[in-house]
Structure 1
Amino acid sequence: MKWPKEITPSFVGKLIRAEKDLKKAILVFDSATGEYSNGFRHDHTTFGIMISRFVSANQFKAAEDLLKRMKDEKCMITDDLFLSICRGYGRIHKPLEAIRIFQKMKEFDCEPTEKSYTTVLSILVDENQTKMALRFYKYMKQTGIKTNIVSLNVLIKALCKDRGTMEAALQVFNEMPIRGFNPDSYTYGTLINALCKYGNVIEAKKLFKEMDSKGCSPSVVTYTSLINGLSQSDNPNESIELLEEMKSKGIEPNVFTYSAFMDGLCKNGRTSHALKVFEEMRSKNIKPNMVTYSTLLNGLCKEGKLQEAVEILDRMKLQGVKPDAGIYSKIINSFTNVNKFQEAANFLDEMILDGITPNRVTWNLNVKIHNTVLQGLLADGDLDRASRLYLNLRTRGISVEGKSFDSLVSSLCKKGDLHKAMSIIDEMVVDGCVPNELTWKAVVEVISDTSKLQEISEYVN
């Protein structure tokens, strides 16, 4: 590319930032070095911009190679460059790589700062490497790194990761004023969230009141945590009051706040109120997520409001949120509970058409629901629909229960279709199910002449 007679690092930096295509940004970076005859050399800024671009694209080797080049060219290297790579590794869930980069800092004559230590500690905590994080914190103290409010907050967050270390987190919190640090909103928010998660809502409420008296403003995350904790109790009125208080302070609830609030209403049989909250949420252009829909559908199904549940499912699909096997299972199970097996079968078909397949967690539930619908259809005398469902189960590899086999054979025998009945028995035996006495009795009863005794005796023997 053509360059002006005089180029500066700031000019090159602007060109690299402006280029959206990484390959073209590399070309800009490399071609700039061809201007050495004009006195230009990359500095800390241009190297840093290019390293950031590589990290954003997950090209970590290229980023690390630039660090080596900086060292060779005797360019100033600060901890910010190393930390950008560390954070990148943290983003892709490779905390050990972040540690490796941190340990390389001294090789590049870059002394880690308090910020460096705290950043790596935070990465370990966020990646649930709690034991490693606590060892790293101990190493920080041994190295002589001074404790600050940020590192203490990260330490508390690490201790809050496990119920067994929750007391230690509270102890660090209580000792903060003695060490000369006042807990801030982040400190309180972390503890309140953890206490609610572990079911200690009473202690969480105390801290919530305390933080207000200390001039620490709760964030939307803190309010959501406490609303979620209160929602698990039998008295949702407190969460209603808290939501109103939140709004009065100008803190707008988000999708997580509304979902937690609706969960409490639905668990306490107040789905009508939950539906109003759902409409309020949508009127504010807050898009419901999977948790929102699942919560509302679960509550409606639990109260037997199947028509409303189906409407919510339809709205969910129209808004581009794809229901999973668990949501379909709630709907289907609710229809089977009221003996509406035709409707249940329709939703099984819809589930297949939507390409929804159960995962490892929902597989057993899926097997149970399919067999329940199959048996219900047979009990209603809908043999044709039941037969189609049976073939679907066989095709998709879903286990057929012994009771389903017996019911299907009995229904076929009542229809006089001995050939199909015996075919089902063959498949039943292959699957390791033994026909019971009633099943054989149904087969025998359908035989109307002695010429078929030979046919049945072959299966019995």
Structure 2
Amino acid sequence: MGTTCSTNCIRDHDHYAKKNQCPQDDLESSLSEHRVPLTAPLVVQVVKRCKEEAPTRRLLRYFTWSCKNLGSELEDREFNCAIRVFAEKKDHRAVDILLSDLRKDGRVLEAETFSVVAEVLVKVGREDDALGIFKNLDLFKCPQDKTTVASIVNALCAKGHAKRAEGVLLHHKDKISGVESCVYKSILYGWSMQENVKEARRILQEMKSKNITLDLYCFNTFLKCLCECNLKNNPSGLVPEALNVMMEMRTYKVIPNSVSYNVLLSCLGRARRVKESLKLLDSMRRSGCAPDWTSYYLVARVLYLTGRFGKGNQIVDMMMEAGLVPPAKFYYHLIGVLCGVERVNHALELLDRMKKSLIGNYGPMYDVLISKLCRSGDFEKGKELWDEAKEMGIFLECSRDVLDSSITKVFQPKWKEKVREPADQTKPDTQVLNSKLSGHRNPQKRRSKRKQKGRSKKKAAST
């Protein structure tokens, strides 16, 4: 009986929190008339249940009304839970209001709540506000310990604010005992986002001096920073410097994995360096580092983009022979690349290979191909794929209107092939040459003019 009553109470409160057609003051009056006893667990449960459906401001009004009615019965734990919900909903105004109320009521801000709030504020460009809360954590009765220091550093570095994060670390070095590795890895990632190789190398050296283990994550992060920087500023040093880092990794007994090679393969693909991509893929296999599906995707992609479709198909076959079963997005992205370079026939062949591997989730591929075929004017093939998808029970997101030639606009390429007009037989070749050389003066006329000028000068001298 008690369970049924509490369920009905939650359902009623859900209804009031979600309802959005009543006047501004109707929510509070409706809740006040409700006779079911209000409890702190009930409020938290309603807030969590309604966070995906109710408007955030209406949910905030419900929570504010609950705070006024419950008073001290609403504990700090429930209040912190509500702040995290509004932070996850990215309602920054609601977070500001609740933080102000928490501070006025003398409540305790939990470290977990601060971590979520700091991350959300930095993501929207309010890193100053996040640092302001961190500097005044004592006003929120929250200690500046290793958890909060690591949280603010991680939040700042996630958006590339490595210098500001190092400023926090400089003033709180004595508080990061036990989380030094986590903090320094965050700062390394921050400098990597800025593609600052010099500072990233300095962090690695500092970690080494503090006896912090340099693991695979550290080297892969630095390798990405180095490759991205060289891709823009020093393309010739892209491969040799990356291979030097991999040799350095082995001196620390850290073996490069497929992620390490994929970082370099990605940059080589963006630079359209096909031969080096193929060579690197082969060296992976010979060195004992088995390529994953991402490695094969990066190489096949650059081959398709540069018009080497047969070789790209061989790479896909090589992956399948290695026993790798890629996810559906592997084929989806490659089919998108082939459609982008106007090679729909090759994209259809790739779809057949995908169906033979029995991966499933064919819907997005059919959507791309049907739309591409119809917009290219091949409505018959598009209709054939549509019927095939329906027979297989595949759900399609594209509308059936795309199959209607009177609705779908056929893509017309902007460039047109130049057609040479047949030469005019009535016009002699000498006339054509004269017309082309019409801008050039007759040399005989030039000589006559020079003689006339010379005669006039002699007459003037004799007079």
Q: Normalised by the size of structure 1, how large is the TM-score?
A: 0.53
- 1:52 maps onto 2:48 in alignment: yes
Q: Could you tell me whether the CA contact under 8 Å between 1:227 and 1:260 is conserved in 2?
A: yes
Which amino acid in structure 2 is aligned with residue 274 of structure 1? L
User: Cα 1:45–1:323, aligned 2, differ >3 Å: closer, same or farther?
Assistant: same
Q: Is the 8 A contact 2:38 2:70 kept in 1?
A: no
Which runs of structure 2 are paired with 1:330-341 in the superposition (5 Å)? 332=341
Question: 1:421: which partner in 2?
Answer: none
Tell me, what secondary structure is at the counterpart of 2:73? coil
Cα distance, 1:86–1:106 mapped onto 2, change above 3 Å:
same
Deviation of 1:124 after TM superposition, in Å, equals 0.6
Q: In structure 1, what is the Cα distance between the partners aligned to 2:97 and 2:424?
A: 76
C-alpha distance 62-299 of structure 1, shift in aligned 2 (>3 A):
same
1:12 and 1:345 map into 2 onto residues whose CA distance is 59
Deviations, residues 424-445 of structure 1 (Å, cap 9, x unaligned): xxxxxxxxxxxxxxxxxx2885
Match for 2:83 among 82, 86, 92? 86
Query: Hey, what does 1:192 align to over in structure 2?
Result: 188
Larger radius of gyration: 2
Q: 1:228 aligns with which of 216, 224, 227?
A: 224
Matched, 1:400 2:414: yes
Note if contact 1:192-1:204 (Cα within 8 Å) is conserved in structure 2: yes
SS in 2 for 1:185: helix
1:69 aligns with 2:66: yes
Q: 3-state DSSP class of the match of 2:337? A: helix
SS of residue in 2 equivalent to 1:199: coil
Q: Deviations over 1:262-321 (max 9, x none)?
A: 43676671434436859999989x774xxx676333544588754232455798998421
Distance 1:54 1:220 in 2: 42
**One-letter amino acid of the structure 2 residue matched with residue 26 of structure 1:** R
Counterparts in 2 of 1:145 and 1:83: CA distance versus 1, 3 Å: closer
- Is 1:169 the counterpart of 2:165? The answer is yes
1:20 equivalent in structure 2: none
Unmatched runs of 5 consecutive residues or more in structure 1: 17-22, 31-39, 333-342, 358-390, 412-441, 448-461
Q: Which residue of 2 aligns with 1:237?
A: 243
Deviations 1:361-393, CA, capped at 9 Å, x for gaps: xxxxxxxxxxxxxxxxxxxxxxxxxxxxxx9xx
TM-score, normalised to structure 2, is 0.53
1:355 paired residue number: 371
- Looking at structure 1, the residues matched to 200 and 262 of structure 2 have their Cα atoms a distance apart, in angstroms, of 20
In 2, Cα distance between the equivalents of 1:160 and 1:133? 13
* Shift of residue 221, structure 1, vs aligned partner: 5.0
Counterpart-to-counterpart distance in 2, 1:397 and 1:69: 58
Query: What is the distance in 1 between the residues matched to 2:372 and 2:250?
Result: 39
The alignment covers a number of residue pairs equal to 333
Q: CA deviation at 1:345?
A: 6.9
The alpha-carbon deviation at position 193 of structure 1 amounts to 1.0
Q: What secondary structure does 1:323 align onto?
A: helix
Secondary structure of 1:45 counterpart: helix
Does the 8 A contact of 1:134 with 1:158 survive in 2?
no
Provide the rounded CA distance (Å) in 2 between the counterparts of 1:65 and 1:344.
57
Shift of 1:52: 2.5
Asked if residue 323 in structure 1 is aligned to residue 333 in structure 2, the reply is yes
Cα distance in 2 between the residues matched to 1:127 and 1:201: 26
Check whether the contact 1:55–1:88 (CA below 8 A) recurs between aligned residues: yes
Give runs of aligned pairs for residues 376-455 of structure 1, distance below 5 A. 395-396=409-410, 400-401=414-415, 404=416, 407-408=417-418, 410=419, 442=421, 445=424
1:113 corresponding residue in structure 2? 109
Find the residue that maps to 1:236 and give its secondary structure.
helix
Contact persistence 1:195–1:204 (CA under 8 A): yes
Letter in 2 for 1:91: E
> d(CA) in 1 for partners of 2:370 and 2:286?
26
Cα distance change of structure 1 residues 88 and 28 upon mapping to structure 2, 3 Å threshold: closer
Query: CA offset at residue 228 of structure 1?
Result: 1.8
Q: 275-284 or 64-73, which moves further after superposition?
A: 275-284
Q: What are the equivalent positions in structure 2 for 1:288-327 lying under 5 Å apart?
A: 288=294, 295-300=298-303, 306-310=309-313, 319-321=327-329, 322-323=332-333, 327=337
Amino acid paired to 1:98? V
Instruction: Show structure 2 runs of 5+ residues with no match.
Output: 16-35, 229-237, 350-364, 374-404, 427-463
Q: Equivalent residue for 1:271? A: 278
Measure, in 2, the Cα distance between the counterparts of 1:205 and 1:263.
Answer: 22
**How many Å separate the matches in 2 of 1:223 and 1:76?**
51
The alpha-carbon distance between structure 1 residues 231 and 295, as it changes in their structure 2 partners (threshold 3 A), is farther
